[in-house]
Structure 1
Amino acid sequence: MVKIALGTGREATQIDCIHALIVEFICTFLFVFAGVGSAMAADKLGGDSLVGLFFVAMAHALVVAVMISAGFRISGGHLNPAVTLGLCVGGHITVFRSILYWIDQLLASAAACALLKYLTGGLTTPVHTLASGMDYSQGVIMEIILTFSLLFSVYALCVDPKKGFLDGLGPLLVGLVVGANIMAGGPFSGASMNPARSFGPALVSGNWTDHWVYWVGPLIGGGLAGLIYENFFIVRSHVPLPREDETF
Structure 2
Amino acid sequence: MPIRQIAVGHPHEATRPDVLKAALAEFISTLIFVFAGEGSGMAFNKLTDNGSTTPAGLIAASIAHAFGLFVGVSVSANISGGHVNPAVTFGAFIGGNITLLRGILYWIGQLLGSTVACLLLKFSTGGLTTSAFSLSSGVSVWNAFVFEIVMTFGLVYTVYATAIDPKKGNLGTIAPSPSVSLWVPSVWTGGAFDGASMNPAVSFGPALVSWTWENHWVYWAGPLIGSAIAALIYDSFFIGYGTHEQLPTADY
1:73-152 map, 5 Å: 73-152=78-157
Shift of 1:69: 1.2
- Give, as a single letter, the amino acid of the residue that structure 2 aligns with 1:116: L
* Match status 1:45 vs 2:47: yes
1:1-248 map, 5 Å: 1-2=1-2, 3-46=5-48, 49-164=54-169, 166-234=171-239
Q: RMSD of the TM alignment (CA)?
A: 1.5
1:131-150 Cα shifts (integer Å, max 9, x gaps): 11111111100000000000
**TM-score, normalised with respect to structure 1:** 0.92
**Percentage of pairs with the same residue:** 51
**Secondary structure in structure 2 of the residue aligned to 1:6:** coil
Shift of 1:57: 0.2
Choose between structure 1 and 2: higher helix proportion.
2
**Aligned equivalents of 1:211 and 1:79: distance in 2?**
19
1:143-197 Cα shifts (integer Å, max 9, x gaps): 0000000001101111123334534221012112112111110000110001110
**Aligned equivalents of 1:219 and 1:89: distance in 2?**
10
Contiguous gaps of at least 5 residues in structure 2: 243-252
- Structure 1 outlier segments of 4+, above 3 Å: 164-167
Moved more, 175-184 or 39-48: 39-48
Aligned to 1:241: none
Contact 1:66 1:172 in 2 (8 A): no
**Aligned equivalents of 1:166 and 1:184: distance in 2?**
26
Contiguous gaps of at least 5 residues in structure 1: 238-248
**TM-score, normalised with respect to structure 2:** 0.90
Contact 1:28 1:105 in 2 (8 A): yes
Shift of 1:8: 1.8
Contact 1:63 1:175 in 2 (8 A): no
Moved more, 111-120 or 172-181: 172-181
- Give, as a single letter, the amino acid of the residue that structure 2 aligns with 1:232: F
**Aligned equivalents of 2:65 and 2:90: distance in 1?**
21
Contact 1:65 1:173 in 2 (8 A): no
**Secondary structure in structure 2 of the residue aligned to 1:188:** helix
- Give, as a single letter, the amino acid of the residue that structure 2 aligns with 1:73: N
**Secondary structure in structure 2 of the residue aligned to 1:186:** helix
- Give, as a single letter, the amino acid of the residue that structure 2 aligns with 1:91: G
